[in-house]
A and B are shown apart, each in its own frame.
Chain A
Amino acid sequence: MRKKSLLILSILLTVAIMVSGCGASNVGGSVKSPTDGSTNQKTNESVTNAPKGDDELDKNVRILLGYNVSLDNMPAGESINNNFLYDYVKEKTGFNPTYELLPSEGGEQKISIIIASGDTPDIIECFDRGVFNRFAQSGALLPLDDILNEYGSELLKFDKEAYQACKIDGSIMALPQPAERYGTWGVAVREDILKESGIKELKTRDDYVNFFRYAKEEKGMFGLTGWGKDLEGVFAFPGITSGFGLGSVLLEKEDGNYEWSYISDNAKEYIVWMKHIFDEGLLDPDFPVFTGLEVRERLSSENAAAGTLNYWDLKTVDDNMDKVGKKGVFQFAHPMVDDNGNFTVKYKGGPVRLYNLVPAVAKNPEGAIAFYNAMVSNPEIVKTLAFGFEDVHYTVNNGNIEATERAVEVNPYTPYLMIGHTTFEDRQKVKGFWDYYEPLVAMTNVWDYFDMMPPVAEVSDNYNELRDYAAENAVKFILGVRPIDEWDQYVKEFNSMGGQAAIDAINASK
C-alpha cells in the first residue's frame, strides 16, 4: 500500500518536473526582444575602427569562458549563444562568436586537457596567473604582439601594468582583461560600537587593541575575525597587516632587493601581536577554518566587531544588518598604521583580472583579436554591454546613469560579453556598490610586485608549497601549537624548502 503511494508520488514528481522543464528548451527558444519595437538605439552607425583586411578575416570565433555565477540566471529559452545581447553583439560587430563555458571548479585541469587534445578554442579565459605562466612556459600559447599590432589597436590602449604582467621575455603572451582595481578590501568595523567605546579614531595598533577589548568586555563579541582559510591565511588580513609594513607577498628592502614577507622581521612582529590578542580572547578562535562566507555570517550574527571583507561582501552584510534596522553600522576602518603613521594595503589580485589565452594551435587567433577589438572600439557597444539598452534598462538623469526595473535582465550577460573596464565606476553606482567601494580607494595603495613580475621557474615550482607553509606556521604560532621561539627555525625551514632559491631568482630577474 505504502509502496504504491510512494510510486505514485514519485511518478507525479517526475512528471511535474518534466512538465515544468518543457519550458526549458535551449535551442530555438523564443528570444526576448527588449526593445519592444522602439528604435531607441542611437547606434545606427556602422562599426568604427574596423580592422584592416576586413574581408579576409574569418568571422567565426570560438571562445571558452571562465565560470561566472551570473550566467546561471538566464531565463528559460536563452543561453550564452542565444540571447538578445549576444544577437546585438553579433549584429554590431559582424563577427560570429561561439561561446563555451568552463565549470566552476577544475577549470585549469579542463583547459589543460582541451589544449592537450589539440581541438582548442581561439580564446581561453584564465583567472590564475600561475596557470598562465605554466602554459606560457610549456609553449602552449601564441605570442600576440604581431596580431595585436595589426588587429588590436584599441586593445593595446589597456593599462600598461596589465600588459606588463602579460609579457614573458618581452613578448605579450596573453590579452589582459585589466583589473578595475575592484579587488580592494579592508577591515569592516562596527562604527556604532566604536563610538560607544569613546575611541576617537582607529588608526594605531593600540587603538585597535582597545577597540577589541571594549567589544569583548562590553559587548561579549570577538574583536576580530577573518578568513584564515584563504590561501595566504593571516598574511591576507588587509588593514591589520598594514600596521606592520606587511600586506604584499614581496617586500622591498632598502637595497632595492625583495624579500619574502612571510619570513620577514615584520612578519614576526605581526604574528607575535596576533598571538597576544588571541591569548587575550580578542581573536576569533575559529578563524583558521573561515572563508569569506563565515566571516560574513559572524559579522551578521553580531558575534564579532570587526572582520576582513571585500567591498561587495560588505554590501551583503550591510543589507542583512538593514533587516534589523542597523544599516550602515559596518564601515571600513582606516587601515592600521605602523609607528611612522604609514600603511600599505595592496590591490588584491594584481593588475590583471583575467588572462585571455590564445593557444598556439588556435585556428583563428586573428579573428578573435579583431572581434575583441571591435567590441572595445565602439563606445556604444561598450555602453550597451555594460548597462543594456537606454530607456529600457537604464535612464540618464543629469549625466548619471540610473538603473530601471528591468536592469536585472542584463545581469546574466554583461559578465561574459564585456571587455575592458572603462565603465567601472558607473556600473558600481548602478548596482549600488559604489558607496562601499569608494572609501577603500584611499585605503588601498600599492601593487604587489609579486603579481606583476615575469615568471620565474623557482617560483612557479615552489610558490604554492611555500605559501602554504607560511600560512600554516602563522596559524600554529598564533594558536600556540608551535612555540614562538621556534621562529628562526621556521625561517630556516622556509628557505631550505626553496624559499631562498626563489627569492634569489626573483632578485636576479628584476
Chain B
Amino acid sequence: MKARQIKKQNSLINSIKEASPYYLMLLPGLILLIIYKYLPIYGVTIAFKNYNIMKGILGSPWVGLEHFEKLFGMSKFYQMFYNTLIISFQKIVFQFPFPIIFAILLNELKNQRFKKVVQTVTYIPHFISWVIISGIFIDILSPSTGIVNYIIQALGGKPVRFMTDPDIFRGVLVVSSIWKDFGYDAIIYLAAITTISQEQYEAAIVDGANRFQRIWHVTLPGISSTVIVMLILRLGKIMDVGHEQILMMYNNAVYDKADVLSTYIYRVGLGNMQYSLTAAAGLFQSVIGCIMLFLSNLFAKKMGESGIV
C-alpha cells in the first residue's frame, strides 16, 4: 500500500520537476494575470453593494441581491434579454458561416495577386469604427435620399424605412455587421487552410475528385477544428451583441426590438452613475456567457473534438 502511494507521490513530484521549464515559461503571463486581473476581482462585489464613492468599494454597505431584483424587476428587462438572444442568434446563424465560405472561395482563386487584393480590401471595414459606419448606413438607407431606396423605387417598389421600422432594423444590424467583419474574420480560417498539406489535395485529384468534392472532403475537414473552436468562443460571447453598433444605429422608433441590456443600462444607468446596477447587469451577462462556453465546450468534446479546455 504505502509503497504504491509513495511511488505515486514520487512520480507526481518527478513530473513537476520535469515540467519545471513549463512553469518558468508560464510565469510572466501568470504574474501579470494575477496582478491585473485577479487582484482587482474584489470589485465584482460592487454588484452586491450600494456603491458610494466616498466609502469606496470595501466600505460600501452590502445589499445582497437587491440590484439583481431591481434589474429583473425593470419593466423592460425581459424584452431586452429576449432582444439580446434574438440578435445574437441571428448574428451567429448568418454571420458565422459567411467568413468561412468566403475564406474557402477565396482560397480557390488562382490568381495570387487578385487574391491578395481582395483580402486586403475586404478586411478594411473592420478598422472603421461604428461611429462612421453607422453614419454611412443611415445615409444609404435613408427613405428619402438613400441610394438603396432609390434602386428599390427604380425597380418599382415603395421606399423601405430601414432604420425606423422595428421589424427590419434587426436585419440592418446583422447585414452591417457581416459587411464590417467578414473579411477580417476570414483571416483565421485562411490561416487554417494554409496548414492543410498539398499532398492531400493532390491525392484527391488523383482519386478523380472535382472542385466541390475537394472542398468538401479536404478543405472543410482540414479547418474543422478551427471552426469548432471559433464557434465555441462565439457562443461564449452570446451576450455580446455589438453594444457600440447598436448604440450608434438605434433610435426611438426601434427601441422595443433593438434595445439590449448593455445599451439600456448605458442610456439609463450610466447616466445616473448607477455603478452597482451596471455591475449587476454585467455580472449577469458574464455568468450566462460563461455557462454557454462550458456547455458548448462539453458538447464539442462529446462529439469527439478537442474543445477549449
B164 close to A468 (CB less than 8 A): no
Q: B151-174: which residues lie under 8 A (CB-CB) from chain A?
A: 161, 163-164, 166
A475 close to B53 (CB less than 8 A): no
Chain A 126-150 near chain B by CB (<8 Å), digits 1 or 0: 0000110011001110000000000
State which size class the interface on B falls in: 20 to 34
From B145, B253, B275, contact of A476 by CB (8 A): B253
* A257 lies within 8 A of chain B by Cβ: no
Q: Which of B18-26, B90-98, B205-213, B264-272 touches A?
A: B264-272
Q: Roughly how many angstroms separate A404 CA and B144 CA in the complex, as a whole number?
A: 44
A112 close to B53 (CB less than 8 A): yes
Q: Which of A14-22, A245-253, A280-288, A407-415 touches B?
A: A280-288
* B229 lies within 8 A of chain A by Cβ: no
* B41 lies within 8 A of chain A by Cβ: no
Q: Using Cβ atoms and an 8 Å threshold, which residues of chain A touch B270?
A: 108-109
Minimal beta-carbon separation of B98 from chain A (angstroms): 26
From A112, A115, A285, A472, contact of B144 by CB (8 A): A285
Chain B 251-275 near chain A by CB (<8 Å), digits 1 or 0: 1110110000000000110111101
Q: Using Cβ atoms and an 8 Å threshold, which residues of chain B touch A463?
A: 272
A130 close to B54 (CB less than 8 A): no
A140 close to B53 (CB less than 8 A): yes
B54 close to A288 (CB less than 8 A): no
Q: A466-483: which residues lie under 8 A (CB-CB) from chain B?
A: 468, 471-472, 474-476, 479, 481
Minimal beta-carbon separation of A308 from chain B (angstroms): 16
Interface residues of A, count at CB 8 A: 40
From B56, B163, B166, contact of A289 by CB (8 A): B163
Minimal beta-carbon separation of A459 from chain B (angstroms): 10
Main secondary structure of the interface of A (DSSP, over half): helix
Q: A138-B52, A233-B252, A476-B252 are in contact. Are A286 and B142 (CB under 8 A)?
A: yes
Q: Using Cβ atoms and an 8 Å threshold, which residues of chain B touch A435?
A: none
Q: Roughly how many angstroms separate A468 CA and B263 CA in the complex, as a whole number?
A: 12
B273 close to A112 (CB less than 8 A): yes
* A228 lies within 8 A of chain B by Cβ: yes
Q: A116-B53, A140-B54 are in contact. Are A464 and B75 (CB under 8 A)?
A: no
* B104 lies within 8 A of chain A by Cβ: no
The residue in A289, A294, A497 that gathers the most chain B C-beta atoms within 10 A of its C-beta is: A289
B273 close to A465 (CB less than 8 A): no
A468 close to B267 (CB less than 8 A): yes
Q: Roughly how many angstroms separate A130 CA and B267 CA in the complex, as a whole number?
A: 13
Q: Using Cβ atoms and an 8 Å threshold, which residues of chain B touch A130?
A: 271-272
B273 close to A108 (CB less than 8 A): yes
Q: B189-236: which residues lie under 8 A (CB-CB) from chain A?
A: none
Q: A253-287: which residues lie under 8 A (CB-CB) from chain B?
A: 284-286
* B138 lies within 8 A of chain A by Cβ: yes
A285 close to B52 (CB less than 8 A): no
Q: A109-B270, A479-B164 are in contact. Are A228 and B143 (CB under 8 A)?
A: no
Q: A138-B53, A464-B267 are in contact. Are A481 and B273 (CB under 8 A)?
A: no
* A427 lies within 8 A of chain B by Cβ: no
Q: Roughly how many angstroms separate A115 CA and B75 CA in the complex, as a whole number?
A: 33
* A491 lies within 8 A of chain B by Cβ: no
Q: Using Cβ atoms and an 8 Å threshold, which residues of chain A touch B145?
A: 301, 303
B251 close to A228 (CB less than 8 A): yes
Residue of B nearest to A298 (CB): B145
Q: A285-B164, A286-B144, A479-B164 are in contact. Are A465 and B138 (CB under 8 A)?
A: no
Q: A289-B138, A460-B272 are in contact. Are A222 and B144 (CB under 8 A)?
A: yes
B53 close to A229 (CB less than 8 A): no
B252 close to A138 (CB less than 8 A): no
A286 close to B143 (CB less than 8 A): yes
* A360 lies within 8 A of chain B by Cβ: yes
Minimal beta-carbon separation of B163 from chain A (angstroms): 5
Q: Using Cβ atoms and an 8 Å threshold, which residues of chain B touch A468?
A: 252, 255, 267-268
The residue in A108, A131, A476 that gathers the most chain B C-beta atoms within 10 A of its C-beta is: A476
* A322 lies within 8 A of chain B by Cβ: no
A134 close to B273 (CB less than 8 A): yes
Chain B 29-66 near chain A by CB (<8 Å), digits 1 or 0: 00000000000000000000000111010000000000
Minimal beta-carbon separation of B265 from chain A (angstroms): 11
Minimal beta-carbon separation of B48 from chain A (angstroms): 18
A288 close to B273 (CB less than 8 A): no
Q: B269-291: which residues lie under 8 A (CB-CB) from chain A?
A: 270-273, 275
Q: A285-B161, A286-B143 are in contact. Are A115 and B53 (CB under 8 A)?
A: yes
Q: Using Cβ atoms and an 8 Å threshold, which residues of chain A touch B249?
A: 289
Q: Roughly how many angstroms separate A134 CA and B252 CA in the complex, as a whole number?
A: 26
Q: Using Cβ atoms and an 8 Å threshold, which residues of chain B touch A288?
A: 163-164, 251-253
* A461 lies within 8 A of chain B by Cβ: yes
B253 close to A475 (CB less than 8 A): yes
Q: Using Cβ atoms and an 8 Å threshold, which residues of chain B touch A481?
A: 166, 253
From B143, B252, B268, B273, contact of A229 by CB (8 A): B252
B252 close to A474 (CB less than 8 A): yes
Q: Roughly how many angstroms separate A285 CA and B162 CA in the complex, as a whole number?
A: 11
Minimal beta-carbon separation of B231 from chain A (angstroms): 33
Minimal beta-carbon separation of B224 from chain A (angstroms): 32
Q: Using Cβ atoms and an 8 Å threshold, which residues of chain B touch A284?
A: 144
Q: Roughly how many angstroms separate A497 CA and B242 CA in the complex, as a whole number?
A: 27
Q: Roughly how many angstroms separate A286 CA and B161 CA in the complex, as a whole number?
A: 8
A303 close to B144 (CB less than 8 A): yes
Minimal beta-carbon separation of A464 from chain B (angstroms): 5
A475 close to B252 (CB less than 8 A): yes
Q: Roughly how many angstroms separate A460 CA and B271 CA in the complex, as a whole number?
A: 10
Q: Using Cβ atoms and an 8 Å threshold, which residues of chain B touch A465?
A: 268
A464 close to B252 (CB less than 8 A): no
Minimal beta-carbon separation of A203 from chain B (angstroms): 28
Minimal beta-carbon separation of B167 from chain A (angstroms): 10
Q: Roughly how many angstroms separate A228 CA and B163 CA in the complex, as a whole number?
A: 13
Minimal beta-carbon separation of B262 from chain A (angstroms): 15
Q: Roughly how many angstroms separate A228 CA and B275 CA in the complex, as a whole number?
A: 28
Q: Roughly how many angstroms separate A131 CA and B164 CA in the complex, as a whole number?
A: 31
Q: Using Cβ atoms and an 8 Å threshold, which residues of chain B touch A360?
A: 54
Q: Using Cβ atoms and an 8 Å threshold, which residues of chain A touch B273?
A: 108, 112, 131, 134
Minimal beta-carbon separation of A156 from chain B (angstroms): 27
Q: A12-56: which residues lie under 8 A (CB-CB) from chain B?
A: none
From B53, B142, B143, B164, contact of A135 by CB (8 A): B53
Q: Using Cβ atoms and an 8 Å threshold, which residues of chain A touch B166?
A: 481
Q: A131-B273, A134-B272 are in contact. Are A116 and B56 (CB under 8 A)?
A: yes
21 A-B residue contacts at CB 8 Å?
A: A112-B53, A116-B56, A130-B271, A130-B272, A138-B54, A140-B53, A286-B142, A286-B144, A286-B163, A288-B163, A288-B251, A289-B164, A303-B144, A360-B54, A460-B272, A463-B272, A464-B267, A464-B272, A465-B268, A468-B255, A472-B255
Chain A residues with CB under 8 Å of chain B are 108-109, 112, 115-116, 130-131, 134-135, 138-140, 222, 228-229, 233, 284-286, 288-289, 294, 301, 303, 360, 460-461, 463-465, 468, 471-472, 474-476, 479, 481, 493, 497
- Other A-B contacts than A130-B271, A288-B164, A468-B268, 13 sampled, CB-CB below 8 A, are A108-B273, A112-B273, A140-B54, A222-B144, A229-B252, A286-B164, A289-B138, A460-B272, A464-B267, A468-B252, A468-B267, A475-B253, A497-B75
Q: Which 7 A-B pairs have the closest CB atoms?
A: A475-B252, A288-B251, A472-B252, A289-B251, A464-B268, A465-B268, A464-B271
